């Protein structure tokens, strides 16, 4: 999923020859999954048509303060609608007006009403771009908190070649995506998450395991990715799927396989969350062939599985380590003891009951325990809980 997917974007277009590029930018924004409304200056329509823009955006094109019937266009509503605003191209004329708060057209009044981040990509001739008044306008707009997308060097409409050419649509899209990603709370953080159950083989067709669906671990992975992290998800058997450019999924089955994957990846992480419901026991011997059904009792000897959380607690260096605990009684007491024994920085406590079945459920009720505090996160969907968990981790540990 693209970072701009679902975002509401206002695309502002001013009256310069580079306006034709805005059509391609609009296409790219739509392909990224964004909802785009177009606001233009009156002169922009000398270069691009409302029909083209409306067809591509799937919204009416806004270009005048009042329509032919005298109906007022609500620029405040437009400005407040957007998650971000992109003005491309910005002519020298509009640049100066934006810098000085002029409001003589719909695009400018909408810009002044916007509460969202505003990106602007100038386009003008070489000497206009280098003029001291233009430089002053650029500095003033950047000082207001607007984000400047630097023009490129190349052929200009005048026939000259130099700086002032509007950045290409692909460059603008990449710039916005990179900038938004850099603002995310987990940007550049590496996070390892274990999820799902582990299965311990009895024979080629049978195993022992548990009822874990993996939903909590996958919700944590998705939340981390949306916050800009690079995620290594080590997953036991589950029907869940997740895809993202910053996601590495390692599929495992047994506890030993999960431990081996953790050993290979734990060292380079900033944070690890052990959300998997790992089997505590595994058969001493695995039958090479399917055990035949008989009337006799079947005895299977078990041994303990490797302790993955203890391994991470003993070997962690700079990593923040978060564990999970599931208890049916005295949950907070046992979880606090587990946090000390396993050397975790915090632990998330599932309280299993008839009203909170945990396994397979889309909701959960969690407590967040650290050495300093105990926080009841409440009963929520696992997606909401994942967001709350990362908010706490970011505030307290990262």
Find out whether 196 and 250 touch, Cβ atoms under 8 Å: no
Q: What is the DSSP annotation of 55-80?
A: HHHSSPPB--SB-TT-PBP-HHHHHH
Is 268 catalytic? The answer is no
Q: What are phi and psi of 298, to 5 degrees?
A: -110, 125
CB 233 within 8 A of CB 248: yes
Instruction: Report how far apart, in Å, the C-alpha atoms of 53 and of each of 33, 48, 49, 87, 104 are.
Output: 17, 8, 7, 14, 22
Q: How far apart are CA 81 and CA 65, in angstroms?
A: 17
DSSP annotation string for 195-253? ESB--EESSSS-EE-----SHHHHHHHHHHHHTT-EEEEEE-S-S-----TTEEEEE--
Helix, strand, coil share (%) of the chain residues, nearest 5: 35, 25, 40
Burial group, residue 64, by CB count within 10 angstroms (0-12, 13-18, 19+): middle
Q: Which residues contact 100 (CB under 8 A, 6 or more apart)?
A: none
Active-site option among 74, 93, 102, 210: 210
Strand partners, 205: none
User: What are the C-alpha distances in Å from 358 to residues 56, 305, 352?
Assistant: 45, 23, 6
User: Quick one: which of 317, 308, 304 has its CA closest to 273?
Assistant: 308
Closest CA to 3 of 245, 230, 218: 245
Phi/psi-derived region of residue 342, left when phi > 0, alpha when psi is between -120 and 50, beta in every other case:
alpha
Structure tokens at 342: 């396993």
Phi, psi dihedrals of residue 208, rounded to the nearest 5°:
-110, 145
Residues marked active site are found at 210
């Amino acid at each position: 999923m693209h970072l701009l997917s679902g975002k509401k974007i206002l695309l502002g277009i001013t009256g310069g020859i580079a306006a034709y590029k805005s059509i391609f930018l609009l296409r790219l924004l739509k392909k990224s999954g964004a909802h785009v409304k177009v606001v233009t200056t009156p002169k922009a329509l000398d270069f691009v048509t409302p029909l083209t823009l409306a067809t591509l955006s799937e919204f009416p094109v806004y270009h005048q303060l009042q329509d032919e019937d005298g109906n007022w266009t609500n620029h405040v509503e437009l400005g407040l609608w957007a998650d971000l605003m992109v003005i491309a191209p910005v002519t020298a004329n509009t640049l100066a007006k934006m810098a000085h708060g002029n409001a003589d057209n719909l695009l400018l009044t909408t810009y002044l009403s916007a509460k969202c981040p505003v990106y602007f990509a100038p386009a003008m001739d070489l000497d206009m771009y280098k003029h001291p008044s233009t430089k002053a306008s650029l500095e003033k707009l950047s000082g207001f908190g607007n984000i400047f997308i630097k023009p490129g060097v190349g052929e200009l409409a005048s026939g000259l070649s130099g700086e002032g050419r509007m950045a290409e649509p692909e460059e603008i899209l990449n710039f916005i995506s990179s900038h938004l990603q850099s603002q995310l709370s987990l940007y550049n953080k590496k996070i390892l998450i274990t999820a799902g159950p582990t299965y311990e083989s009895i024979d080629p067709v049978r195993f022992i395991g548990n009822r874990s669906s993996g939903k909590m671990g996958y919700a944590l992975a998705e939340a981390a990715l949306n916050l800009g992290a690079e995620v290594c998800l080590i997953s036991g058997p589950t029907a869940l799927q997740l895809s993202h450019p910053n996601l590495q999924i390692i599929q495992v089955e047994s506890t030993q396989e999960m431990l081996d994957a953790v050993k290979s990846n734990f060292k380079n992480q900033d944070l690890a969350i052990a959300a998997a419901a790992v089997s505590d026991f595994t058969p001493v011997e695995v039958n090479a062939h399917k055990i035949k059904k008989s009337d006799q009792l079947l005895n299977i000897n078990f041994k303990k599985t490797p302790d993955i959380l203890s391994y991470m607690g003993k070997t962690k260096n700079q990593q923040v380590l978060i564990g999970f605990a599931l208890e049916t009684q005295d949950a907070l007491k046992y979880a606090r003891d587990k946090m000390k024994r396993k050397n975790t920085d915090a632990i998330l406590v599932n309280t299993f009951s008839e009203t909170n079945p945990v396994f397979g459920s889309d909701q959960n009720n969690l407590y967040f325990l650290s050495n300093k505090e105990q926080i009841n996160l409440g009963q929520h969907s696992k997606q909401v809980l994942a967001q709350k968990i990362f908010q706490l981790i970011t505030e307290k540990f990262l």
